[in-house]
Every structure is written in structure tokens, then in C-alpha cells.
Structure 1
Amino acid sequence: MQYSAKAVAGRGEAKSFKRRLWLEGWKRLRKQRTAMIGLAVVLFFILIGLLAPLLTSHPFDGFNPEKTLIPPNADHWFGTDDQGRDIFSRILYGARISLWIGFFSVIGSIIVGCLLGLVAGFYGKWADSIISRFFDVMLAFPSILLAIAIVAILGPSLFNALIAIAIINIPTYGRLIRSRVLSVKEEEYIMSAKAIGMSNSRILFLHILPNSITPIIVQGTLGIATAILEAAALGFLGLGAQPGEPEWGKMLADSRQFLTVAPWTLLFPGFAIMVTVIGFNMFGDGLRDALDPKMK
């Protein structure tokens, strides 16, 4: 019973220590003005995406041949496109699509990449060799070309674009978690866990993964920005969002022929992409500095 009490106390102290580290990281993050601006931008786009039905007075798919290419005015704040659809409404609903693709593609990449990286780093030998070569093959292709190939096989659609973006980013998280596992598994507390007979799965998910997750969180935040850009690129090429869907990349593709006569049809979707990506990058950079122990 004495040993069990010490073990429980040790786990309690470890949890308390991790909690203090996260609190200290949050305090450091709050002191960084650029990170807070980035977080504000991210929350702003999440909010307008969620509240789009309440913030718009025109349907995003409402065709009106009598109101084509109207410049911004009091009724249509961002003007209308070549089919008379309100651009402001399409921008707000497009935030839902871009953030949905960004968040869920990164979550998928992290889950698969972390599982493969944990196995490669912990078990080593043939498992590490096979998984690492798989990562090397995927990284040998330009990411956007690999995404295009995957969507071409699966068929053009938003969901297939999400799958393609998730697949091409798996090696990024897999290699990152593998490098962390190779370092963490040599720590004394991991050796102690093995010595008392703890199973490999418990060691991986209770000790190694929690102590390797910080760089994954940072990379995931930055990866959302990359995923949004990749989704916009696929939409621009006609491989992501299909006609009628208010995706920012698709809006750019549909409006490029009106650059000289109706520049607002390209300006606002492009600006939305730019600001969203900058927001995630600013927040990700600040998060990296805040969670880096060397910055303490």
C-alpha cells in the first residue's frame, strides 16, 4: 500500500506540474501582441462562420440576373458576382467551408501521422524502416501535385479535397512525433515504466504521447493555415468545391475573368483567404514561442 500511495502521489505531482506548464505557457502567450491578434482573427472567422445565417440578409446561393456585377453598396456590402449572388453572404458561408476543411484535415493528419510516428519511433527496426520509407516516398512529391492526383482518383468534391489534404500532410506529423518519441523513450521514467512491467500501449499513450504532443499542437495550428491554402488551390482548379458552393478558392476561379470590370469579385475572397492564413500563422508562431521550454 505504501508503494501504491507513492505512485498515486507521483502521478498527482506530474499532473500538477503539467498543469503549471500549460498555465505558464498561456501567460507567456497573452504577453505576445501578435499572437493575440492572430487569435482574435481566428476567433472572428469562426464566429462569423457560425453566425452566418444571422449576419446575412441575402442567401448565398440566390441567383438574380438583374443584379449581376453590382459594385459594393448599402444593400450588398461586398457587391454581387456575375450571377447576382451576394458576395458578403458567400464570404461568410465560405468561412464555414474553409475552417471545416482546415480543422478536420489537420485532425485526420495528426491522428494517422501520430499513430505511425509512435510505432516507428518506439519499436524501431523493420517497423521504423517501412514507415520512414513511406514518409520519404510521400515527401518526394510536391504536396499540391499529390493532392491533385488523389482528388483526380477519388473525384472532385469538397470531402475528397479534405481527404487529399489530410493524406498529404500525414508525413509532416509522423516525422515530427517520431523524432520526439526517439528522444522521450530514453528518459528514465520510461525505463522505470518498462521495469515495473507496464505494457507498451500504456507507455505510448500515457507517457510518451502526452510528453510529445506540444510540437504537434503548434504544427497543427500552422497546418490549418496551409490546409486552407491547399483547399483554395484545389477549389481554384475545380477539384474541390463544385459550382454553387461558396468556397473562397472557387469564388476566385469563377471571378478571374472579371478582374478588370468587377475587381471586387476577386478582392474580397482573396482578402478573406489572406487574413485567415495570416491569423493562423501569427497565432501558431506565438504558440510555439509560448510552449517552448527554452523561452521560460
Structure 2
Amino acid sequence: MTGNQQNNEPKHKRDLTRRKVVVAGAGAAVAVGAGATLASGAFADETTSSVSASGTSSAEVCYKLTSETTEGPYYIDADKLRRDITEDKEGIPLVLDLKVIDSESCKPIRNAAVDIWHCDALGIYSGYESLSTGGGGTAPTGAPSGTPTGEPPSGAPSGGTGGGGHEEPTDDERYLRGTWRTDKNGKVTFKTIFPGWYRGRTVHIHTKVHVGGEWTDAGYEGGTTCHTGQFFFDETSVLASAEVEPYSTSTTERTTLDEDTIYDQSGTAGGLLKLKYNKKNIAKGVVGSLTMGVDPDATNEGTSL
């Protein structure tokens, strides 16, 4: 990934009063790996339970505001309206069960547009393949250690998901990116793969929540961005993923959750996912769930943090 992204770069500006989602046409085939098919069946019950665990009930306790983070330079504005963002990318199947609520009232926020985007199993971002260094190459002699050598870089880390300015896309690839609406209970589910890692950052997924816009035949238009955040994975799950191909072929130094410069160490309030998977065979798939407490009246674009 590029190392020339600096914190003093001009911030990317976009017209949020005219946001559009480009709907994937019927001819755009979405290839789902065999592992993803397995996860959708093997984890059906767990998906239901993790959703219901964060569902609305009289006993639900209102959440703290979910931490805001930087957008990073690799955001592409609501490019694909879809729930399955896997395309043909190899990796451990991951189902994300998310819920969006008003952090003050605890009421679900319906019809919000939720974006997610992340790198592939070897640290490459679609749309920016020429800027991504990734982690492919000769397989290392062992799995990434829980304690990487060296200190995390200050400022914008290599790979650019820190505070640097927005980069314009360098290619037309859009795998591992998608946008979908929340239902009447504030819930939305995505199907993807477990992300890999790259130098300077722990394993993570980016997200945005947009409200106040309009869903049309063309997609989602208008509104504001009330939340920009990231989802994180505990060290146990990441070390387990590192034993599975293609993650195991990565030669890239890994930053742990404790050493990451973006994660604020506040657990679920900071975006730490609740994970369910077979501890003896993570390759079968993972279900991650999280309730995001947001302020629907706020504007948090993540470009000036």
C-alpha cells in the first residue's frame, strides 16, 4: 500500500445532498464460495440467536454511542446495493448481523443505509489494488505472532486507513463493498469473508450509517452520514484465521488489537464484534454481531477525526 498518504492532505469532499447507490445489474454475477454456502446453512441457528440477542425487548439497555473513527482513503460512496459482497474472493465465510439504534432512546432506526467495506484475505482493497501492498507471497514458517515487532506507525498507517485524505479509485473492482437498508427493527445482515491484515493496522471492517435519505429505484439518495466507524476482531479469532489458507500465505507483519492506533479499547462500544464460530474449525465460517448506537441528528463523515 502507498506510503505517501500524509495527515495534511486535503480532505475529500463529496455532495452528501445527492448520494447515489449504483444498483448492480442483473448481469452482474456474484460468485459465492463453497465455504460461504456452508456457513449459510451451518450457522443458520446461530445467526438467528445472535440477532435475537441484540433485538428490541423491554429489557434492552440503551447503548453508549458507538465510537466514531476515520473514514480512511479507500471509501467509495455507496457503490453497490447488495447484502452479499463476497463476489469471487476466497476466505473464511463471515456473516455480519448488525443493528442500528438511537443511542438516546434505544429505538431501532429503520431504512438507514449501512455501508461496509474491507480488504480481502491478503490485505488488498478493491478499487485500489495498485495502492495496496497486501500480504501475499511465500508462506511464512509459522502463523503471525500475537505480538508483532516494532511499534505501530504514528499518524496514517501504511495502507491508508488512518487519518489521511481520500484517494480516488484506481480500478473498477468493487468486491467486499456493499450497502443495504435496515429493516423495521434496525437490523441488516451482510455476507462476506473474514478480512485479512496489512502492515500498520489490526484486522477490521469499515462502516458508515446514513439517515434521512430516500430509497428510490436507482438506490439511496440524499441524507446525512450519522456514523463512521470500524468493526474489530479479537486476537483469538485472528490467530485462528491465520492457520487457514489464503491467510496463512501472508508474509505481512500484523498489528495486534491492543497495538492498533484506531481501536479505542472500549470493547463493543468501540466496534469489537461478538463472534461465534467452531473453535476447532474456524474455516467453516464465522458469525459476527454488533449493535451500533448512533445519534441520527449528528453528522459524522469520518474525514476530520
TM-score by length of 1: 0.25
Q: Which has the larger radius of gyration?
A: 1
- Greater helix share, 1 or 2? 1
Larger relative contact order (CA 8 Å, sep ≥ 6): 2
Q: Which protein is richer in strand relative to its size?
A: 2
